[in-house]
């Protein structure tokens, strides 16, 4: 019996060491507390961490103000000023996240762990806009009258997320690892998410 168990033990040990020796990985991650984009993950024997960053900038030109200035049976208030984008939209989105890991149980090709993370998401939108009011002509017919000239509008938004939970990492191959995590997430606005998962795919090379 000992002659059978010893080779089995050595085989499992060698197979496990092939996966655990690789601690540095590059890839992608997506989630509220983890951040979304390119990520670097380091998973050591007793702890690990991940840094995630992503950015996106794009622009488009679309006219939202209709050409026809006449409207019928309007529900809008005639004395209220309305602001409508007229085009020249420039948008930016970016985020950065930091996650700490605590290994709880290791198997031959998987790792069960706890984690805590924090991230910051920033969005910026710049566009041209026009103010106007509705003036009642006769009966239910209204005409639109422009107020002033076009103006540039710049809107920014900053959201912060803090989360903690449990995750599972699985070794698809010796180098490629897939992770799935379920965090308890709280935003700076006081919103809470408990059923929004996050995940990642990394290539471990060292």
pLDDT at residue 183, rounded to an integer: 97
Residue 142, domain member (yes or no): no
Residue 141, domain member (yes or no): no
Domain carrying residue 11 = 2-62+90-128+151-204
pLDDT at residue 150, rounded to an integer: 86
- At 186, which CATH number? 2.40.160
pLDDT at residue 62, rounded to an integer: 66
Residue whose tokens read 């090379």: 205
pLDDT at residue 68, rounded to an integer: 56
Task: Quote the number of domains for the chain.
Answer: 1
Residue 136, domain member (yes or no): no
- Mean per-residue pLDDT pooled into runs of 10, the chain (206 residues): 41 43 95 97 97 93 60 57 82 97 96 98 92 76 81 93 98 97 96 94 94
Query: Which pTM was predicted?
Result: 0.75
């Amino acid at each position: 019996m000992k002659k059978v168990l010893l080779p089995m033990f050595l085989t499992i040990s060698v197979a496990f060491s092939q996966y655990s020796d690789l601690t540095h990985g590059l890839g992608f991650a997506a989630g509220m507390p983890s951040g979304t984009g390119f990520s670097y993950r380091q998973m050591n024997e007793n702890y690990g961490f991940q840094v995630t960053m992503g950015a996106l900038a794009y622009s488009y030109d679309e006219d939202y103000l209709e050409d026809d200035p006449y409207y019928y049976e309007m529900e809008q208030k005639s004395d209220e000023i309305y602001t409508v984008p007229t085009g020249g939209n420039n948008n930016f989105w970016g985020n950065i996240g930091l996650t700490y890991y605590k290994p709880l149980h290791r198997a031959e090709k998987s790792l069960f762990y706890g984690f805590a993370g924090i991230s910051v998401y920033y969005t910026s939108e710049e566009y041209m806009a026009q103010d106007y009011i509705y003036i009642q002509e006769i009966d239910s017919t209204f005409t639109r009258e422009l107020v002033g000239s076009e103006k540039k509008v710049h809107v920014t938004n900053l959201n912060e997320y803090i989360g903690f939970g449990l995750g599972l990492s699985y070794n698809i191959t010796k180098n490629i690892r897939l992770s799935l995590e379920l965090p308890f997430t709280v935003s700076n606005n006081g919103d809470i998410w408990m059923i929004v998962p996050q995940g990642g795919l990394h290539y471990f090379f060292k």
